[in-house]
A and B are shown apart, each in its own frame.
Chain A
Amino acid sequence: MNSYWIGIMTQTGIYLLAVLGVCILTGFTGLFSFGHAGFMAIGGYVSAIAVKFGDLPLPVGLLLGTAAAALVGIAIGTPTLKLRGDYFLIATLGIGEAIRMILENWEFVGGAKGLTDVGSGISFPLVLCIDILVIFMLANFLRSKHGRNCIAIRENETAARAMGINIFRYKLLAMGISCALAGLAGALLGHYMNYLQPTMFNSVKSNELLIMVIMGGFGSLTGSIISALILVPLPEVLRIGSAQEWRMVVYGLLVVLIILFKPTGLMGYRELTIRGIRNFFRKIGMLFRKQAARKEE
């Protein structure tokens, strides 16, 4: 396999983390964020500054980036998550744009030209390991009491509150996890590309992250993973003429159609598990056996 495809796979693995972050927030807690690229930017720039100017080792930079994104997420979530849903939506939109514009005008980090030589050293195996670790942790989180509480909030806030769930705390928890993952993805991306530019984190990117989760299905971790694995490499495959714009047209149309006709997305609330696949094939096998038996008769 040549380095081009390994590069695409690495990028897919990195973006997958951000998609998983949005999935926890949107798919499992029922909150929509229109500015997650902004949290990726925070993670990316904090880690880059720590490694480039602070001479800290790469893992420390990654951790700092992740923590910074989570902290900003919690700081913005604390006042707005108590309010009506639209406030949170507008706040995430605002913070996403504000972060990008501040970075574009901040000469210390290179402004709109971006920051180069931020320290590299991210390889595909490393990204793969982090992906597997994160997926494992998230799957466990969703099975835990805390994860179930988040799902309860998505299903019906009033009922969840009546069951004694502290709605605000769990929304904040989901926001923190989600922003931390976005920050980690941003930090990995910066060190993988070895440069950072504010336009890498524009609102189109935020929308794409959200679209991937919607297409994958609300409330399905594997659905989000599948849709990220398909949709992230897609722009690389479609590098011809105005294919990029058509891609966004199709995305927009698909989102409207999904919301209109199948609001649960590709996988719905189901997960793709090994047992599920085995059961599926067993069912098909049964069908064939039945037909064979019928023929013998």
Chain B
Amino acid sequence: MLFLQQLINGLAIGSVYALMTVGYSLIYSLMSFTNFAHGVVVTVCAYVGYFVLSFFITNIPVGIICALVSGLAVSVIIELSTYRPLLLRNAKRLYLCIAGLGLSIMAENLIIIFLSGRFKSYPAEVLTLGNITVGSATIGIIDLVILGVSVVALVGLELYIRTSKDGLAIRGASFSLDNASIMGINTDGLMIKVFAIAGALAGVAGFFCGIKYTAYPKLGSSLTNKAFISAVLGGLGSLPGAIVGSFILGVLEVMVAGYVSSTLRDVFSFSLLVIILLVKPTGLMGKSSEDKA
């Protein structure tokens, strides 16, 4: 049963994309700008996971928590140091994108300088957790762990946004940031919270990517591109869309790599993006895509 194996693998990759895309969509829906520095968080946390697991303790839960905390910290630092001054000045949203791009270029090359550009593989004990055999299919336990943790995180986020007071504020602010601020919501504090959530999720995504693909300097930017594709596929700014889009992209990629050719996987993803933009730019669940101006 190669198909079942591929499906689980695809769902695991899709869930990692979902962790990344949800954070990106959350920031997008609130502040309507594309956070190009999101990849920095992923890369940093992949390295944090690598160092913790290789040199301190070979324990996956500890690694996840370390990646989560460092992701949260890095994301909040980025918000406070770069985006906050620009937001206070009411700069054009595109300037924020450019600043994020600058940050990600800087971080990528600093990592190459100080940690070398080589691929860093996580310790073997983590990678070979063993397999489960269902019928004739062998399913890696690590894939199930990734899928499980990601689904728990995503459900937790959905519950948080649906039920908590902050969640209500986030929903209101995504409708209109200015109106939310008039209604007495502390939007500055809310932005920090959103960046913290997005950073924590991206941190976990970075850890899982480190396990699946090893840690390397360009990990973040390649994953950011996948997150953009998932977000557009699901509809820019829509959280359920982001999750659905990520899972679809993950499964499709694995299927293309498994049944067609592994070198065509990324060609397929980017061509898919271009085709969606040409045919149905609102994606599966997006609503308006016109500029409000």
Q: Is A256 close to B, CB under 8 A? A: yes
Kindly state the separation between the CA atoms of A105 and B268 in the bound complex, as whole angstroms. Answer: 11
The residue on A at minimum CB distance from B116 is A242
Q: Is B179 close to A, CB under 8 A? A: no
Check if B85 sits within 8 Å of A102, measured CB to CB.
Answer: no
Kindly state the separation between the CA atoms of A89 and B85 in the bound complex, as whole angstroms. Answer: 23
A57 to chain B, nearest CB (A): 32
Chain A residues in 8 Å Cβ range of B106: 248-249, 251-253, 256
B108 to chain A, nearest CB (A): 8
* Chain B interface, number of residues (Cβ within 8 angstroms): 47
B150 to chain A, nearest CB (A): 23
Q: Is A295 close to B, CB under 8 A? A: no
Kindly state the separation between the CA atoms of A292 and B49 in the bound complex, as whole angstroms. Answer: 69
Kindly state the separation between the CA atoms of A101 and B221 in the bound complex, as whole angstroms. Answer: 16
Check if B281 sits within 8 Å of A79, measured CB to CB.
Answer: yes
For residues 66 through 95 of chain A, which have their beta carbon under 8 Å from a beta carbon of chain B? 76, 79-80, 82-87, 89-91, 93-95
Check if B228 sits within 8 Å of A79, measured CB to CB.
Answer: no
Kindly state the separation between the CA atoms of A260 and B105 in the bound complex, as whole angstroms. Answer: 16
Stretch at the interface among B54-62, B88-96, B158-166, B199-207: B88-96
Kindly state the separation between the CA atoms of A82 and B288 in the bound complex, as whole angstroms. Answer: 12
Kindly state the separation between the CA atoms of A76 and B273 in the bound complex, as whole angstroms. Answer: 11
For residues 252 through 293 of chain B, which have their beta carbon under 8 Å from a beta carbon of chain A? 263-264, 266-267, 270-271, 273-274, 277-278, 281, 289-291, 293
A-contact bits for B97-118, CB 8 A (1 contact / 0 none) = 1110111111111101100000
Chain A residues in 8 Å Cβ range of B263: 105
B-contact bits for A237-255, CB 8 A (1 contact / 0 none) = 0000010011011011111
A249 to chain B, nearest CB (A): 5
Check if B277 sits within 8 Å of A94, measured CB to CB.
Answer: yes
Kindly state the separation between the CA atoms of A86 and B28 in the bound complex, as whole angstroms. Answer: 10
Q: Is A158 close to B, CB under 8 A? A: yes
For residues 194 through 225 of chain A, which have their beta carbon under 8 Å from a beta carbon of chain B? 203, 207, 210-211, 214
For residues 219 through 273 of chain B, which have their beta carbon under 8 Å from a beta carbon of chain A? 221, 225, 228-229, 232, 236, 263-264, 266-267, 270-271, 273
| Known A-B contacts A98-B273, A246-B113; A80 and B281 likewise in contact (beta carbons under 8 Å) | yes
| Known A-B contacts A157-B293, A207-B101; A263 and B95 likewise in contact (beta carbons under 8 Å) | yes
The residue on A at minimum CB distance from B277 is A91
Check if A255 sits within 8 Å of B33, measured CB to CB.
Answer: no
A25 to chain B, nearest CB (A): 12
Q: Is B82 close to A, CB under 8 A? A: yes
Q: Is A170 close to B, CB under 8 A? A: no
Chain B residues in 8 Å Cβ range of A157: 291, 293
The residue on B at minimum CB distance from A86 is B34
Chain A residues in 8 Å Cβ range of B108: 248
Check if A94 sits within 8 Å of B270, measured CB to CB.
Answer: yes
Contact of B236 among A86, A94, A254 (CB under 8 A): A86
Check if B91 sits within 8 Å of A83, measured CB to CB.
Answer: no
Kindly state the separation between the CA atoms of A93 and B221 in the bound complex, as whole angstroms. Answer: 11
Kindly state the separation between the CA atoms of A123 and B293 in the bound complex, as whole angstroms. Answer: 47
Q: Is B86 close to A, CB under 8 A? A: yes
Chain B residues in 8 Å Cβ range of A39: none
Check if B228 sits within 8 Å of A256, measured CB to CB.
Answer: no
Chain B residues in 8 Å Cβ range of A246: 109, 113
Chain B residues in 8 Å Cβ range of A97: 225, 266, 270
For residues 102 through 138 of chain B, which have their beta carbon under 8 Å from a beta carbon of chain A? 102-110, 112-113
Chain B residues in 8 Å Cβ range of A203: 221
Contact of B281 among A87, A210, A249, A251 (CB under 8 A): A87
Kindly state the separation between the CA atoms of A80 and B289 in the bound complex, as whole angstroms. Answer: 10
| Known A-B contacts A94-B228, A252-B105; A259 and B281 likewise in contact (beta carbons under 8 Å) | no
The residue on A at minimum CB distance from B108 is A248
The residue on A at minimum CB distance from B105 is A252
| Known A-B contacts A87-B289, A158-B293, A245-B109; A32 and B274 likewise in contact (beta carbons under 8 Å) | no
The residue on A at minimum CB distance from B270 is A98
The residue on B at minimum CB distance from A99 is B270
28 A-B contact pairs sorted by A residue (CB < 8 Å): A32-B94, A32-B97, A76-B274, A76-B277, A79-B278, A80-B281, A84-B290, A86-B236, A94-B229, A97-B266, A97-B270, A98-B270, A101-B266, A242-B113, A245-B110, A246-B109, A248-B105, A249-B105, A249-B109, A249-B110, A249-B113, A255-B101, A255-B102, A256-B103, A259-B91, A259-B98, A260-B82, A260-B99
Residues in chain A within 8 A of chain B (CB atoms):
30, 32, 34, 76, 79-80, 82-87, 89-91, 93-95, 97-98, 101-102, 105, 157-158, 161, 203, 207, 210-211, 214, 242, 245-246, 248-249, 251-256, 259-260, 263
Identify the 7 closest CB pairs spanning chains A and B, nearest first.
Answer: A252-B106, A255-B102, A98-B270, A252-B105, A94-B273, A248-B109, A256-B102
